[in-house]
Amino acid sequence: MNGQIPDENADLVAKIARLVEERGWNQEDFARNAGLNRQTVHHILQRSPNRRLRNVTISRCAKALGLSVNDLRNLPFARLLPRVPSAPARELTRAQLELYERAMQPELQAWLERNPERARQLTAVEIDELLSLQGTGGPLTRTGVEHFVTLIERKRKLLEQVHAIAGTEYLDVLEKLVDLMYEKIQPYKEKS
């Protein structure tokens, strides 16, 4: 093995499991619709990365989900979701679709497939920030996608809290606190 097969297999298993969940099927429904035994379905739905899927299993999963094997293997989760019959309607913004299409690093692609709900919450500005971190040896590779997404989510929460405080009688206190902190981060200011 070249080291990529288990990762690709784990990503495919996770993608199938998410599509089955989106379809609203339980283990029994999926086993019946795909023509697979319960043990195989159990391993897929538990996202067992150590069990390699056979081609016939992948084919049956794709057919049950109304997809081609090629699409199931190669398209990201967000592009497959609208194709799954009876999947709940979930509109992605233009910026979110751009994120899925411009995600070049395998780490980012895998994170997007594992965390579609969190990815849907990213704003256009946050998506641009995340995409700017891509690149061979770049910060996204060294530190990890989860780290940067968590930072983005923390900043979003903080801004929401500041916005809420700004609409209260504590605006003056907030302004003084922000001014004080802003002064601390300013690089060596020339004194006039």
% of residues, the chain, pLDDT over 70: 88
Q: Using the 8-state DSSP alphabet, how is residue 154 labeled?
A: H
According to the model, what pLDDT value does residue 2 have? Answer: 45
- CB of 59 within 8 A of CB of 16? no
Question: How does DSSP assign 52-116, residue by residue?
Answer: PPPHHHHHHHHHHHT--HHHHHHS-HHHHGGGSTTPPP-PPPHHHHHHHHH--SHHHHHHHHH-H
User: Once rounded to an integer, what is the mean pLDDT over residues 86-114?
Assistant: 73
For 53-57, 86-90, 171-175, which range has the lowest pLDDT when averaged over its residues? 86-90
pLDDT category of residue 66 using cuts at 50, 70 and 90: confident
Residue 47 near residue 20, CB atoms below 8 Å: no
Q: How far apart are the first and last CA of the chain?
A: 66
Q: What is the pLDDT of residue 36?
A: 92
What is the band of 91 on the pLDDT scale with cuts at 50, 70, 90?
A: low
Query: What is the 8-class DSSP label of residue 4?
Result: H
Instruction: Note the pLDDT of residue 86.
Output: 54
Domains of the chain: residue spans and CATH:
1-90 (1.10.260.40), 92-192 (no CATH)
Res. 87: pLDDT tops 50 = no
pTM over 0.85: no
pLDDT per position as a tens digit, 115-150: 877 888 888 889 888 888 887 777 887 788 899 999
For residue 1, the model assigns a pLDDT of: 43
